[in-house]
Amino acid sequence: MEENILEKVKVLYESETLQKRIAEMAKQIDEDYKGKTITVISVLKGAVFFTVDLVTKMKTPIELEVMQVSSYEGTESTQKINIKKDLDNDISGKDVLIVEDIIDTGHTLKHLKEYLMSKNPKSLKLAVLADKKERREVDVEIDYTGFVIPNKFVIGYGFDYNEIGRNLPYIGYIEV
């Protein structure tokens, strides 16, 4: 299936639609953090594309951190959360914004928020590009949402199928 996976992708959100919504999110974040510096934590690998586009549209000064957290194999969440790469710097007393590509069941982000709260940030908010609400199993408060998406397997703009397809300039989906 992976050989021709990109041929099966159907477009959900074109690049222009993504960039317009991300600009709106950046403006809202700037308003909420006026006069502050925030630590932006990009969750690798999927959120890299979204993070870069978001922070380059923001006027708020940022410190950038990356974490790698995984819970997926293929198209399914394993519900086993694994921190593969932790923070490089202390976030105690800082305003922190987690930037994630997608929230699905909510298990990964719930665990990540609890883990980061244990590091005593001044504040902790969450920006998510895609919210797959109908798959939610646990409650997670999302402060900034790009799109509420249907229960489809998304690919492109950071989303992948076994590491393939992240570099598509749009969000598409595949039938699995």
Residue 99: φ, ψ to 5°: -115, 115
Largest separation between any pair of C-alpha atoms in the chain:
49
Query: Tokens 């950038």 map to which residue?
Result: 64
CA distance 26 to 32: 10
Query: Tokens 């929230």 map to which residue?
Result: 103
- The H-or-E segment that residue 97 falls in is strand 95-103
Helix (H), strand (E) counts: the chain: 3, 9
Q: Which of 104, 139, 143, 160 is catalytic?
A: 104
Q: Verify whether residue 104 is a known catalytic residue.
A: yes
Instruction: Give Cα separations from 56 to 23, 27, 46, 50, 111 (angstroms).
Output: 9, 11, 17, 10, 28
Q: Which residues are catalytic?
A: 104
